[in-house]
Amino acid sequence: MENQQGKNKKKLWGGRFSQTTNEMVEKFSASEHFDRRLYSQDILGSQAHARMLARCGVISPEDAERIVSGLQDIKLAIENKSFDWKPELEDVHMNIEKALTDAIGEAGGRLHTARSRNDQVATDLRMFVREQIFLIDRLLAGLQGAFIHQAREHLGLVMPGFTHLQKAQPVLWSHHMLAYFQMFRRDRLRLRDCLGRVNILPLGSAALAGTDFEIDRFMTARELGFDDISANSLDAVSDRDFAIEFVFVLSVIMMHLSRLSEELVIWTSSEFSYVELPDEFCTGSSIMPQKKNPDVPELVRGKTGRVYGHLIGLLTLLKGLPLAYNRDLQEDKEALFDALDTCSACLNITKFLVAGMKPREDRLADDSRTGFLTATDLADYLVKKGVPFRQAHEIVGKAVAKCLASKKELTDLTLSELQSLHPEIDEDVFRVLDVRGSVDSRKCPGGTGTIPVKDQLHEAERWLADFRLT
Could you report the per-residue pLDDT of 304-333, keeping only the tens digit for each?
999 999 999 999 999 999 999 999 999 999
Q: Are strands 8-9 and 21-22 parallel, antiparallel or unpaired?
A: antiparallel
Of 436, 394, 384, which is closest to residue 411 (Cα–Cα)? Answer: 436
In the chain the first and final C-alpha atoms are separated, in Å, by 63
Query: Which listed residue (82, 164, 270, 416) is catalytic?
Result: 164
pLDDT above 70 (res 50) = yes
Query: Which listed residue (60, 69, 285, 406) is catalytic?
Result: 285
Of 432, 162, 122, 184, which is closest to residue 274 (Cα–Cα)? Answer: 162
Q: Are strands 200-201 and 228-229 parallel, antiparallel or unpaired?
A: parallel
**Position 105 confidence tier, pLDDT thresholds 50, 70, 90:** very high
φ and ψ at residue 8, rounded to 5 degrees: -90, 145
**Position 8 confidence tier, pLDDT thresholds 50, 70, 90:** very low
- Chain centre to alpha carbon of residue 52: 35
State residue 7's pLDDT score.
44
Q: Is 285 a catalytic residue?
A: yes
**pLDDT tens track for 221-280:** 999 999 999 999 999 999 999 999 999 999 999 999 999 999 999 999 999 999 999 999
- Between 192 and 88, whose confidence is greater? 192
CA 78 – CA 96 distance, rounded (Å): 10
* CATH hierarchy code of domain 367-466: 1.10.40.30
Q: What is the mean pLDDT of the chain?
A: 94
CA 198 – CA 129 distance, rounded (Å): 7
* Architecture per CATH, 117-205+231-361: Up-down Bundle (1.20)
- Residue 201 has a CB neighbour count (10 Å cut-off) of 27
Equal fold, 20-110 vs 117-205+231-361: no
CA 429 – CA 53 distance, rounded (Å): 81
* Candidate from 2-16, 148-162, 384-398, 432-446 with smallest mean pLDDT: 2-16
Enumerate the β-bridge partners of residue 359: 275
**pLDDT tens track for 284-294:** 877 787 778 99
Question: What is the dihedral angle through the alpha carbons of 443, 447, 452, 458, rounded to the nearest 10 degrees?
Answer: 170
**pLDDT tens track for 339-383:** 999 999 999 999 999 999 999 999 999 999 999 999 999 999 999
Classify 364 as helix, strand or coil. Answer: helix
State residue 24's pLDDT score.
84
- Between 4 and 318, whose confidence is greater? 318
Say what the pTM is.
Answer: 0.93
CATH class of 20-110: mainly alpha
Share of the chain above pLDDT 90, in %: 88
- Structural domain spans, the chain: 20-110, 117-205+231-361, 367-466
Please, what sign has the CA dihedral across residues 282, 285, 289, 293? negative
**pLDDT tens track for 185-227:** 999 999 999 999 999 999 999 999 999 999 999 999 999 999 9
Contacts of 361 (CB under 8 A, 6+ apart): 154, 157
* Candidate from 80-94, 205-219, 288-302 with smallest mean pLDDT: 288-302
Cα–Cα distances in Å, from 201 out to 34, 67, 73, 116, 124?
23, 21, 25, 14, 10
Share of the chain above pLDDT 70, in %: 96
State residue 13's pLDDT score.
55
**Position 20 confidence tier, pLDDT thresholds 50, 70, 90:** confident
Cα–Cα distances in Å, from 96 out to 120, 263, 276?
12, 48, 51
CA 240 – CA 334 distance, rounded (Å): 14
What does 103-167 look like in DSSP terms, one character per residue?
HHGGGGGGTTTT--HHHHHHHHHHHHHHHHHHHHHHHHHHHHHHHHHHHHHTTT-EEEEEETTEE
State residue 15's pLDDT score.
65
pLDDT above 50 (res 159) = yes
Contacts of 287 (CB under 8 A, 6+ apart): none
- Chain centre to alpha carbon of residue 65: 40
Contact present, 247 and 335 (Cβ < 8 Å): yes
Contacts of 234 (CB under 8 A, 6+ apart): 205, 208, 209, 323, 324
Which H or E run includes 29? helix 23-29
